[in-house]
Amino acid sequence: MVAALYVEAGGSYYDLPNVDPWDERRDARLYPGPYPVVVHSPCQRWGKLWAGQPLHIKRTGQRKQKGADQGCFKCGLSDVRRWGGVMEHPWGSHAWAFFGLTVPSRAGGWVRADELGGWTCCVEQGRYGHYARKPTLLLAYDCDLPDLDWGIGEPRLDPEIVARMGLKRAKRLGEVGGKGGGRDSAPRIGTPAPFRDLLIAMAQSANRLRLAA
């Protein structure tokens, strides 16, 4: 068994054998163990738009606080260190520096993340089925470190977005910004099945390694 923490209710981690999904209703900050984990802690307050949408800030003057995620990243980091497995966050996440984690090369390759046995890398989810490149940071403890499909790919602007909004606006929205919107962020934040399966396999290996120790 592995536990998938901070996942979407009814999303890609549901209805899978040997996966215990924790959505917002279950509150993954309360995860008691004992299974290794795949951690998808919320990233909104750690990314480049941590303060909020520029238009909203301009209209209201209200800015969010960097890292104000109600302790989700801190709890997720504690869980992956304690139970083993893998944690993911977007490339450019401010959480890596805030928690003293080494920022790996954008081009890929595992490097030591800290002095507690962690390893980190960057890999594009676009190489595993996402419609955009979506570079992603991984942080692993006590599990296999697989060779991944490393590299920096060419930008992937959605042709439908370019046709509907024009190239200039499509570039401003970015590769993931044009799909979904409002309450429907699933196209942007959804985890492609091949990438999900990779993360699950990494977490499952933590069980094997610990039983062999």
How confident is the model over 4-51, as pLDDT tens digits?
Answer: 999 999 999 999 999 999 999 999 999 999 999 999 999 887 877 655
> How do the domains of the chain map onto residue ranges?
2-152+193-212
Q: Which of 14-18, 59-63, 162-166 has the lowest mean pLDDT?
A: 162-166
- Please tell me which residue, 122 or 55, carries the higher pLDDT value: 122
Q: 3-class DSSP state for residue 168?
A: helix
Model confidence at 176, in pLDDT bands (50, 70, 90)?
low
pLDDT at 154: 79
β-strand partners of 136: 90, 123
pLDDT at 167: 60
67 sits in the region (left: phi over 0; alpha: psi -120 to 50; else beta) called left
pLDDT at 183: 47
pLDDT at 65: 80
Mean pLDDT of 123-143: 93
β-strand partners of 185: none
pLDDT at 22: 98
Cβ atoms within 10 Å of 150's Cβ, excluding its own? 16
**CB proximity list for 69: less than 8 A, separation 6 or greater:** 41, 42, 44, 45, 46
Buried b / exposed e along 81-116 (16+ C-beta atoms within 10 A): bebbbbbbbbbebbbbeeeebeebebebebeebbee
- Please tell me which residue, 166 or 11, carries the higher pLDDT value: 11
CA distances, 44 to each of 3, 65, 107 (Å): 22, 11, 23
pLDDT at 158: 67
Q: For all residues of the chain together, what is the average pLDDT? A: 86
44/41 Cα distance (integer angstroms): 10
Residue 69 pLDDT > 60 = yes
Q: Which of 58-72, 75-89, 158-172 has the lowest mean pLDDT?
A: 158-172
Q: What is the pTM of this model?
A: 0.84
pLDDT at 181: 46
Mean pLDDT of 82-101: 96
Residue 205 pLDDT > 60 = yes
